Amino acid sequence: MSEATPERAEILRLEGLEKRFGAVYALSSVSFAVHRGTVTALVGDNGAGKSTTVKIVAGVERPDGGALHFEGAPVGFFSNPAEAAERGIQTVYQDLALCDNLSIVANMYLGRERRSGPRASFLAQLNQLDMEQEAGPVLDRLGIRVPPLTTPVASLSGGQRQAVAVARAVLWGSKLVIMDEPTAALGVAQTRMVLRLIQQLAHNGLGVIVISHNLQQVFEVSDHIVVLRQGRTVGDYAKDEVTPDQVVSDITGVSGGMFA
Amino acid sequence: MSEPDLPGNRSDGAEESGASERRGVFRSLFSGGDLGLLPVALALIFIWIIFQSTNQVFLSPRNLSNLVLQIAVIGTLALGETLILLIAEIDLAIAQFSGAAAALLAVVSVDLGWPFWASIPVVLLAGALYGFAQGTMVTRVGVPSFIVTLAGSLVSLGILLALLAQQGTQLIYDPFILGIASSYVPGWAGWVLAALVIGTFFITSMRTQALRRSKGLTVPPVATVVVRVVALTALVIAIVLTLNAYRGVPVAGILLVGFVALFAYITKSTPYGRHLYAVGGNGEAARRAGINVTGLRLSIFVLASTFAAAGGIIGASRLGAASTTSGGANLLLEVVGSAVIGGTSLFGGRGDVYGALIGALVIGSVENGMDLLGAPSSTRFLVEGAILLAAVTLDTVLRRQRLRAGRA
């Protein structure tokens, strides 16, 4: 989010990613780039390699070939999620990974609590008020409206939970946020709210990767659309230069499409 | 975590939050499935009224002082059990191990003749080691805690019998150890303690209030703070007045309240405590947040068994001996019962350590009151069993309420 770099500078570039599970090629050639301030949608059929690609970027899986550039520099690969997080990559998984019995602010700072006093975690005191004070503006900046931050996550709606999970990712000065099927379990109004949130993230200068099955949403929210099929990139478009039919035929591999 | 992902639960949750404003506060609390300590506090008052009306001695200073000593062991063990339940595990060895710890104390103190400042730490250390062993089996090897601690209970009984093989009952003579459960602080010291408790609560409440205001956060109404301070003050004064009317505040009671207060601070105000609740609420989320889940769970097992050892020491002090029945009989039922009656969920992540204290008070009051009535053991067990079942049923029903409200 630093203002010094050009607004739409490239933040992530994947070149010829390969990943084998035994004799099976999960990825054989995945290449695309993500820019700051834009939303890149990753689409494809089940087993096309979307999840594997995202896991490599998040440091969960290590690829067998290809290259990964982050902020213009080759980084080799992230050997664990913490390493990716350190560089500013945060993933919001489908199950959100929230603790329902803890408050909104406790979830946002989970594992990285502000503390005062001695450093040993057994005796250090949580600095609850500072956390609450800092979390407020982050939520405001994203246009997220939730109940008081001391409310347990258990009492939030599905969309609000998604918002809290996203806010947690953003709180840590992340530069690239990956969202896996962010609207899959939501109703209409909640889906609207989350789509607005995705665009707000890009508007705030972050790079965003969204995995989605819903082409209508993809066209509504994204700036770039990357299509994967059988482990390779088969389409990479700016949204304005492609039609849903073209994307569908890329996904299915049936050229011409049924409406041609 | 799987339940709230269902679309049905989500929409239910949304309707819930929208409609709850129209309902009464109590109703909305109940539909949320979170009642805190209110039911158990009401139950305690109810039990006290019943016993007082059947026997005027029940609420006498002498009997209440005796009640405090009675719950010192149960409460200490219940505190350890509460920590275990918070991470959604169970420790069935906690009572029997406290007996083994009592036997170890007797052997070290009498047979080996070690002074209290050596024997007590040795027993506590043995508790920690024992907890480390149980915790390692559960967290690293992956054996269910139910089985590990069930086996541990038998092992503890074996240790107890082996340690007391010669004599069966070993009397303890060390005056310091005996003093733990038989000394009382003088009247003025009780008032100093009361002033400290009230002062600390008052100052932290006021400080939090002022800090929240200065940071521009929502400030709870002054009235709630005032009510809380006044209620606590009245309660503490009543307790000290009553206990001073007999022999003063029992040292064992101060120990128990001290343990509970220390762990209330650790569980609510430190990162360690925050992580403890996170692991109990959603272990996978805690792991992904970078929390050392295995280490934390292991440390809880160590703490619980250390509390078991501490409870064993207090029990031995009260009895003036260690015997082959130490830690046996229905102590385990009373301990698990206290923790659950105190509002700690068997499903992990919900409850707090104050619950252990109140739960122990409920169990202790029932026992004490029944004894005063001269009720046979059969009746006592039936009533205690019924109360335990009621508490677990309430926990289960409330959990289902939460699930239905999309608040798993």
Kindly report, residue by residue over B65-79, the tens digit of the pLDDT.
999 999 999 999 999
Residue B72: Cβ within 10 Å count: 29
State residue B153's pLDDT score: 95
Q: In the Cβ-directed half-sphere of B153, how many Cα atoms lie within 13 Å? A: 18
State whether B1 and A100 contact (CB < 8 Å). Answer: yes
Which of A111, A115, A190 is opposite residue B290, by nearest beta carbon?
A: A111
Which of A98, A115, A187 is opposite residue B10, by nearest beta carbon?
A: A187
pLDDT over 80 (residue A26): yes
Which of A113, A136, A161 is opposite residue B271, by nearest beta carbon?
A: A113
| Listed residue (B41, B78, B44, B35) closest to B263, CA to CA | B78
Task: Choose from A124-133, A249-258, B169-178, B300-309 the range with maximum mean pLDDT.
Answer: B300-309
Q: Which residues of A fall within a CB distance of 8 Å from B1?
A: 95-98, 100
- Hey, which residues does B224 pair with through a beta bridge? none
* Amino acid (1-letter code) at residue A2: S
State whether A115 and B211 contact (CB < 8 Å). Answer: no
Residue ranges of alpha helices (H) inside chain A are 50-57, 81-87, 104-108, 128-141, 158-171, 188-203, 215-221, 244-252
Q: Are B403 and B32 in contact (CB under 8 A)?
A: no
Q: Which residues of B fall within a CB distance of 8 Å from A106?
A: 274, 278
Residue A68: Cβ within 10 Å count: 17
Q: Is A82 on the interface with B (CB under 8 A)?
A: yes
Q: What is the mean pLDDT of residues A133-138?
A: 86
**More confident position, A170 or B254:** B254
Q: What is the mean pLDDT of residues A8-15?
A: 90
CA terminus-to-terminus distance, chain A: 43
Residue of chain A with shortest Cα separation from B3: A95
State whether A133 and B217 contact (CB < 8 Å). Answer: yes
Q: Is the dihedral of CA A54, A60, A63, A69 positive or negative?
A: positive
Residue of chain A with shortest Cα separation from B268: A126
| Dist CA A194 CA A162 (whole Å) | 7
| Dist CA A111 CA B291 (whole Å) | 6
**More confident position, A1 or A165:** A165
Phi, psi for B255 (deg, rounded to 5): -60, -50
Which residues of chain B register pLDDT less than 70? 1-36, 403-408
State residue B32's pLDDT score: 45
* Amino acid (1-letter code) at residue B384: E
Which of A97, A124, A156 is opposite residue B270, by nearest beta carbon?
A: A124
| Dist CA A183 CA A162 (whole Å) | 8
- How far A112 CA sits from the closest chain B CA (Å)? 8
Least confident of A29-43, A140-154, B151-165, B187-201: A140-154
Q: What is the pTM of this model?
A: 0.85
Best residue of B6, B212, B282 to probe chain A, by most A CBs closer than 10 Å: B282
Furthest C-alpha separation in chain A:
69
Q: Is A190 on the interface with B (CB under 8 A)?
A: yes
| Dist CA B22 CA B259 (whole Å) | 41
State whether A110 and B274 contact (CB < 8 Å). Answer: yes
Q: Which residues of A fall within a CB distance of 8 Å from B214?
A: none
| Dist CA B305 CA B126 (whole Å) | 9
How big, in percent rounded to 5, are the helix, strand and coil portions of chain B?
A: 75, 0, 20
Phi, psi for B344 (deg, rounded to 5): -85, 130
State whether A110 and B216 contact (CB < 8 Å). Answer: no
pLDDT over 80 (residue A172): no
* Size of chain A, expressed as the number of residues it contains: 260
State whether B13 and A148 contact (CB < 8 Å). Answer: no
| Listed residue (B278, B265, B214) closest to A117, CA to CA | B265
Which of A96, A121, A157 is opposite residue B13, by nearest beta carbon?
A: A157
| Dist CA A58 CA A90 (whole Å) | 7
State residue A147's pLDDT score: 86
| Dist CA A64 CA A49 (whole Å) | 14
- How far A125 CA sits from the closest chain B CA (Å)? 5
Q: In the Cβ-directed half-sphere of A173, how many Cα atoms lie within 13 Å? A: 4
Q: Is A137 on the interface with B (CB under 8 A)?
A: no
State whether B215 and A129 contact (CB < 8 Å). Answer: yes
Residue of chain A with shortest Cα separation from B207: A129
State residue B2's pLDDT score: 35
Q: Are B334 and B384 in contact (CB under 8 A)?
A: yes
pLDDT tens by residue, B15-55:
333 333 333 444 444 444 455 677 788 888 988 999 999 88
